[in-house]
Amino acid sequence: MKKILIPYACGEGAKDNGCADAPKHLKNIGLGSHIKARWTGEYKSDKTDKYEIIKDSCSRLSDDVIKAVSKGNFPITIGGDHSMAVGTWSGVTTGLNVQGNFGLIWFDAHMDAHTPQTSDSGAYHGMPLAHLLGYGDEDLCSVGSNMPKISPAHLCLIGIRSFEEKEANLLQKLGVRIFYIDEVKRRGLHDVISEALKIVKNNTQGYGITIDVDVFDPSEAPGTGTKEPDGLHRAEAVEAFCVFKGDKDLRAVELAEYNHHLGNKGITSKLIFDILGAIFK
């Protein structure tokens, strides 16, 4: 199975859109050769309205992912802000025809489970999970196909430490398993991932992982626009992420919110290389 790196050159869902440059930067510093994967071409929306750019970019990403999985390839999507998750996982589930029957592990400092109606900021990188679950803007919920892409029973969030009441209420109502950072620190990341894997593999046809750079501690991942203190640490994460290596049930990986314009040069990109290397090398 060939690994295909698919860029999401859009940062309009974030407050700082510098993350749109991350795919090109990671390509230039050799991510493809590092994990032995081939890049596809970069798409830049010609829309001018922020919402239209996000909708267009997610639709294109979904199409590119559908194309990759239909050829039997393994998509690795590189953002870009986390609104990209609408495109990535709509594409994976639609391309494999497993909507609602696919597991997802969501590594993030935030829940990203607002809808346009509950979000105070209006930032779309805080909304992708709700849309994948079928809540929110009709057009974004319909990317790829007109049905929810992920079932709450097959979803886990890991590393959460910053959220608002309304998004937490939605996930609680749906019964989503959330591993807050306190539990991760108490039990250890390896143990938490082991439990998460049981959930996302139970009666599903594969699973994926999405990694928001802000899940990591800012001391080791300063290159993101939404830093939160007390995150995951590189050494433990690299060791724990080795569990994904060679897992035939893993069907796609997503990386979001890297902004190389922020933080100390090279620190965050090294972490990204190490994390993806643990999964793919």
Catalytic residues: 82, 108, 110, 112, 125, 212, 214, 257
- Rounded distance between C-alpha atoms, residue 181 and residue 134, angstroms: 26
End-to-end CA distance of the chain: give it in Å, rounded.
14
C-alpha dihedral, 240 to 1 to 23 to 6, nearest 10°: -120
CA quadruple 163, 254, 9, 136: dihedral sign: negative
Q: Is 104 exposed, middle or buried (0-12, 13-18, 19+ CB in 10 A)?
A: buried
- 92 CB-near residues (< 8 Å, 6+ apart): 65, 69, 75, 98, 102, 208, 251, 252
Residue with tokens 């346009």: 116
Residues 107, 211 contacting (CB under 8 angstroms): yes
Tokens 């930067």 correspond to: 25
